[in-house]
Structure 1
Amino acid sequence: MAAPLTSRFPYAKGPDGSRRLGYGADYNPEQWPREVWEEDVRLMREAGVNVVSLAIFSWARLQPTSDTWDFTWLDEIMDLLHAGGVGVDLATATASPPPWLTTAHPEILPVTAHGETLWPGARQHWRPTSPVFREHALRLVREMARRYADHPALVAWHVNNELGCHNVYDYSDDAATAFRAWLRRRYTTLDALNDAWGTAFWSQRYSDWAQILPPRLAASHANPTQQLDFKRFSSDALKEHLLAEREVLRELTPDVPVTTNFMVMSGTKGMDYADWAGEVDFVANDHYVVPGPQDRDELSFAANLTSGIAGHRPWFLMEHSTSAVNWQPINLPKQPGELARDSLLHVAHGADAVCFFQWRQSRAGAEKYHSAMVPHAGRDSDLFRSVVALGDTLERLAPIAGSEREPARVAVLFDWDSWWASEQDSHPTSRLDYHREALDWYSALLRLGIRADVVPAHGTDLSGYDLVIAPVLHVLPQPLAKELTRYVEGGGHLVTTYFSAIVDENDHIHLGGYPGALRELLGIRIEEFGPLPDGATVGLDTPAQALTGSLWTDRIGVDGPDVEVIARYRTGSYADRPAVTRRATGRGSASYVSTRLGAGGLAALLPALLEPAGVGSELPEQARGLVERVVRRDAGSRYVFLVNRSDEPVTLPGVSGDVLVGPPVSDAGIALPPRGVAVLRTPA
């Protein structure tokens, strides 16, 4: 169970000591000659930079051999940064072990499910469960903490870097030993494990803990609960490494906050960040846009979920890109205005610091084509001018530092167990994409101009929300099922979807018909799933319009007269049967959507689902889908962010408030330029 959320945010300070937003980047001075360092600090001052992450990949420089240390260069750059008014988020430098360590101890290298060793030459070539790696890493952490405990530039500790980005799943003997210990803690007895894993199937029953292995390459499909538990274990193994470093830092520097950079973004699913959030003093996140039709929706979704993970307290955007990255098949530069818009959308969703990878664009190495605050073209470039302009904008937004996101009336639940389990093998379809389904619901809400919070499914108080959407909530333990039932009976309105409430926490089916744990609440019963072949679709009829579903259908049976059929299948095997249902119960309702409608179809369906909750748009009709409206607030003020998601100008009528950033307000409203952002302050 995660620790309670805290927030010891390392606020930047203005000349008068007041809070201001953090602004900066990863800084790698060891890649550059000494004469560049002073120029870097001058340019940082010009750009308004007030915090940098330092020493992230510096282990080989700090400890050239097992028995020698070299901190002189880091001492000098720490002093230079402090003299320039730049605080340091100092990394523990354990992310990439040096060649001398992997040569002396190749047993720290990760092993794939196929038994292949991941060799040095890139980064993160270490086993999260290796006792040898842990010993050497903590030795480095102690040396750094002792040396810099009282350095005036130090504002926070940055544990490792992007834990699990490349080494989340390790199948080595060290991992096997640690997995068995984790399973002992979870199940206590072999009988309990055998029951949870369903080992009566395929003669898998274990009679000794030593027989248990990670789900390595097997002749057929591995035990599904073994796979799910290994995913849980792998997230916990990385968290344990975080805790090991954190405890050293708290012992030696108790007054310095500790964090690590999460990666809440599309495609990164190995780490249960909702579980990790209580273990850091403030939440930090890295986010990179993947170009596509929902790229800005996904940016907003990820920033929103990061806020939900942080308990809506301020958080730190540790990395994003000023322009192109280097790791996509085609790396597109950002359009004019996108650097600022992307940054400010994170701020709208609660980021109190905006940082990039990296400060100065590398001239060598794997990331030399990744954009930076200072590009290869140098100071005389449009990109650096945009960086300076953003620094000025963030300075004007200093009053919002410390404010929190204003809760929305709608919540979208996000659950790592369901993400992991719903996409495993041997399922009705291998085409299910949990993250995409959740994002589609969020995109549909954005199209309607409706604010929503994206929050963890477990540990979130749902009572303040009028509508809760739980897409593909596949893993549903009984306690959460009871919580959702209480929510509905207390007046809340729940919407869930296909392949939800199917299994318990052990990946065992809730028997009696689908959707097992929510069958009575929803008032429906499904005997058999109807996944669709690639390219196949079904038509749906609703009172408003015809819709098209894909991926999935359900043969729904309605249990009782209190179930309303909102939409029926018009075509396909289940023609004339219910496709979308709603059951009023208590003072609330529970609705079920049995097919994938995509963002457009959901936007057409949502008004019918929103109506009982009394939720409507906060934007004029002409701005819906084009502008995102987010609100932050403190004791005295509300800060309204209006973000133009489009490449065209948009005018919003009826807008009022003091403009902190953006065009002036006129009698006609406010005219947002393409990709423009306005921030207005009104009384709380």
Structure 2
Amino acid sequence: MTLKHAPISAKLPVLMHGADYNPDQWLHDPKVLEEDIRLMKLAGCNVMAIGIFSWAAIEPTEGQFRFDWLDQLLERFQQNGIYAWLATPSGARPAWLSAKYPEVLRVEKNRVRNLHGMRHNHCYTSPAYREKTSIINGKLAERYAHHPAVLGWHISNEFGGDCHCDLCQDAFRAWLQNKYGSLEALNKAWWTSFWAHTYTDWSQVESPAPHGENMVHGQNLDWRRFVTDQTIDFCKHEIDSVKGANPDLPATTNMHMIEGLDYRKFADVLDFISWDAYPTWHQGNDDIELGASIAFYHDLYRSIMRKPFLLMESTPSLTNWQPVSKLKQPGMHRLSSLQAIAHGSDSVQYFQWRKSRGSSEKFHGAVVDHAGHEHTRVFKDVAELGQTLADISEITGTSTPAETAILFDWDNRWAVKDAQGPRNMGIHYEETVLKHHRAFWEQGVPTDVIGSEDDFGPYKLIVAPMLYLCREETGRKLERFVENGGTLVATYWSGIVDEHDLCHLGGFPGPLRKTLGIWAEEIEGLYDEDRNGLALLPDNALGLSGTFEAHEICELIHAEQAEVLGTYTDSFYAGRPALTVNKLGQGKAYYMAARHKEDFLLAFYTSIVNEAGIARALETELPSGVTAALRTDGESDYVFLMNFSGEAKQVKLDEQSYTDVETGEMAETVVGLPVSGISVLKRKAIRK
């Protein structure tokens, strides 16, 4: 495993700090642009993402291009040691394009074509849109691909959504024909004999619609897969249109909402991963749960390529689109920003640099407020963070060597939410995954978030919460993983359907039955007010004791080869197995038949981590709300202590010798962390 990666750009081999910059909104006032350079240097910013929504400024009318303002901006950047992620402007097209080529406008699932406006209101299949993006991207690449201030390509912006136009319907049918080969195979895979859904001609197949077909789950699943593939194909089209001018210039696209696209598949076309994080800090005065959940998403994006990513967008203060736009309290900007670094980011970047004067995001947080100067609390926070990033830049390119992984597949997520049972009032798949991940976060256990197609070899422990969609191949991989000495933890509602969303026959958990050593006969969804319990058996193999609450889901299982560790306390299935372990080959596979809360998950995974010999970032007991994260280059380890508790805390270090990365001074044996405090420590690498 590579522990020290080359920097994302050799031009800027340090931690990056910057923002989305929209100078095209200020072309009428050159003094603003001049002042921006002074303020960027004052804030310790070394990179800006430019041109993201600049199509109308670059091509104001069809075929007429204006590059003077962009020439001047990049020249000014070069003179002042500032670099740029140069964007392709396809995230929003100019009005003339929509008017002349209406096919570029997206058609919604109700089959109504949108009017011009908004973002991402375009069809990725449209030949006209692809031609026009290729032209403007090619012009940008021809002019700037070798510019010394340009670090790489920022492809479009937050891809998302789907189009249901005739072009996309034809493309969907072609995608299906390529996948299945025949209507007979498609009908079998989708189980269309139910409700007489059987298709007899390819022209009858359409995308899911609220006023048409939406109950064929295999069809819904394939549509989502098609949308991902079509979006990636468009992204690749954009990359190809700029890479020809300079193949060495790296390209990324900033990811955001995980609902619609399988981002893991973008790894095939991107050079590195970047994403946009906008947590709702200080909601309910509890930042612990939110801190843990954002750590999960940082781990997810880092794990896609298993190397450093970029935090491409965050807010230096507040947003304007969340239900409540709450300010970051003192210390939170530093903590939340360095949390990204702790989990593998090599940058902290913001939306936005300077607040827009009008339109949708005129009140969205920015480094430079409408006041237009540096004498604000937010600017001071940003400048102080810029200095910190400069002080700790030796961390750039280091890895996070995780021995634990959470299995999180997008198509499983889609299928779970489409399943129609056992709890349509809330199956809570995402929340469940986050709770399992949080048990490792609280212990300071580095954790990857992987997919079924990834290599399981690097891990000692794999946790697969609600692996509802489980391919036969995935079942065999997990079986081999356990036989070779790994530890697997699976839960209720696993091994239920195959890749077509067809139920496995012969007993659940399908391909996992041998590995887990259990048969799942029935599953009960509980009402919100219902409760059951898990009573751990005396002298069980995990050394745990007591009774823990079960809620929302209880599965009735039979222990076949598995050993029972705990049983249900209530209902007609009281006394039946609720927690089991199965020994297979050199490893073990645990099964949770019920949904439990944080107290049990922390106790359970603390025991599992100890049993499996998994290293924590810091071998000490962490106070509640404090976590530890680890990066390493193989020679030095960098340990981040982060306090999300809302109270001042103290952490007793283990027996290693530590220095403070920012100051270079020896760390005390007890580190004090104020509210929202963070400390970055360095030690000799423990494992190489």
TM-score bracket relative to the smaller structure = over 0.9
Distance 2:117 2:234 in 1: 22
Give 1:604 shift.
3.2
1:58-73 equivalent positions in 2, closer than 5 A: 58-73=54-69
Deviation >6 Å, runs of 4+: none
3-state SS in 2 of match to 1:553? strand
Overall identity of the aligned pairs, in %: 36
Distance 2:572 2:440 in 1: 30
Letter in structure 1 aligned against 2:276: D
Distance 2:394 2:668 in 1: 26
Matched residue, 1:503 = 497
Matched residue, 2:166 = 173
488-497 vs 171-180, greater mean Cα deviation: 171-180
Matched residue, 1:658 = 659
Matched residue, 1:3 = none
Letter in structure 1 aligned against 2:277: H
Matched residue, 2:540 = none
Give 1:24 shift.
0.3
Distance 2:10 2:114 in 1: 40
Distance 2:438 2:471 in 1: 28
3-state SS in 2 of match to 1:20? coil
Change (3 A) 1:107 1:9: farther
Distance 2:668 2:553 in 1: 49
Q: Is structure 2 residue 392 aligned with structure 1 residue 393?
A: no
Give 1:616 shift.
7.1
Residue 115 of structure 2 is aligned with which of 111, 114, 119? 119
Give 1:160 shift.
0.6
3-state SS in 1 of match to 2:485? coil
Change (3 A) 1:236 1:663: same
Change (3 A) 1:71 1:663: same
Matched residue, 2:262 = 272
Change (3 A) 1:547 1:463: same
155-164 vs 181-190, greater mean Cα deviation: 181-190
Matched residue, 2:542 = none
Matched residue, 1:297 = 292
The Cα offsets for residues 481-501 of structure 1, whole Å up to 9 and x where unpaired, read as 101000111111100111111
Please give the TM-score of this superposition, normalised by the length of structure 2: 0.93
Q: Is structure 2 residue 204 aligned with structure 1 residue 211?
A: yes
Letter in structure 2 aligned against 1:305: L
1:133-144 equivalent positions in 2, closer than 5 A: 133-144=129-140
1:635-674 equivalent positions in 2, closer than 5 A: 635-654=634-653, 656-661=657-662, 665=666, 667-674=668-675
1:155-554 equivalent positions in 2, closer than 5 A: 155-164=151-160, 168-218=161-211, 221-263=214-256, 268-291=258-281, 292=283, 293=286, 294-311=289-306, 313-377=307-371, 378-405=373-400, 407-430=401-424, 431-447=426-442, 449-543=443-537, 544-554=545-555
Distance 1:664 1:650 in 2: 21
* Contact in 2 for aligned 1:446/1:625 (Cα 8 Å): no
The Cα offsets for residues 127-169 of structure 1, whole Å up to 9 and x where unpaired, read as 12222211111111111111212222111011111111xxx22
* Contact in 2 for aligned 1:524/1:559 (Cα 8 Å): yes
Q: Is structure 2 residue 673 aligned with structure 1 residue 678?
A: no
Letter in structure 2 aligned against 1:554: E
Change (3 A) 1:674 1:185: same
Letter in structure 2 aligned against 1:11: S
Letter in structure 1 aligned against 2:484: G
3-state SS in 1 of match to 2:352? coil
Letter in structure 1 aligned against 2:195: W
647-656 vs 334-343, greater mean Cα deviation: 647-656
* Contact in 1 for aligned 2:658/2:667 (Cα 8 Å): no
3-state SS in 2 of match to 1:126? coil
Distance 2:502 2:64 in 1: 54
Give 1:663 shift.
9.9
Give 1:251 shift.
1.3
* Contact in 1 for aligned 2:5/2:398 (Cα 8 Å): no
Change (3 A) 1:8 1:679: closer
* Contact in 1 for aligned 2:446/2:630 (Cα 8 Å): no
Distance 1:401 1:618 in 2: 18
Give 1:384 shift.
0.3
Distance 2:103 2:365 in 1: 35
Which runs of 5 or more residues in structure 2 are unaligned?
Answer: 538-544
Matched residue, 1:44 = 40
* Contact in 2 for aligned 1:419/1:434 (Cα 8 Å): yes
Once superposed, what is the RMSD of the aligned Cα atoms?
A: 2.1
The Cα offsets for residues 406-450 of structure 1, whole Å up to 9 and x where unpaired, read as x23321111111111100153322211222111010112223x14
Distance 2:247 2:659 in 1: 40
Give 1:590 shift.
0.8
* Contact in 2 for aligned 1:529/1:555 (Cα 8 Å): yes
* Contact in 2 for aligned 1:514/1:526 (Cα 8 Å): yes
3-state SS in 1 of match to 2:594? coil
Distance 1:580 1:676 in 2: 38
* Contact in 2 for aligned 1:514/1:525 (Cα 8 Å): yes
* Contact in 2 for aligned 1:565/1:578 (Cα 8 Å): yes
Please give the TM-score of this superposition, normalised by the length of structure 1: 0.93
* Contact in 2 for aligned 1:9/1:315 (Cα 8 Å): no
3-state SS in 2 of match to 1:639? strand
3-state SS in 2 of match to 1:214? coil
Matched residue, 2:85 = 89
Change (3 A) 1:476 1:488: same
Distance 1:29 1:572 in 2: 65
Aligned length: 664
Matched residue, 2:605 = 606
Give 1:610 shift.
4.0
3-state SS in 1 of match to 2:629? strand
Distance 2:669 2:16 in 1: 34
3-state SS in 2 of match to 1:596? strand
Change (3 A) 1:598 1:297: same
Distance 2:143 2:280 in 1: 40
Distance 2:323 2:484 in 1: 50
3-state SS in 2 of match to 1:352? strand
Distance 2:584 2:464 in 1: 18
Which runs of 5 or more residues in structure 1 are unaligned?
Answer: 1-5
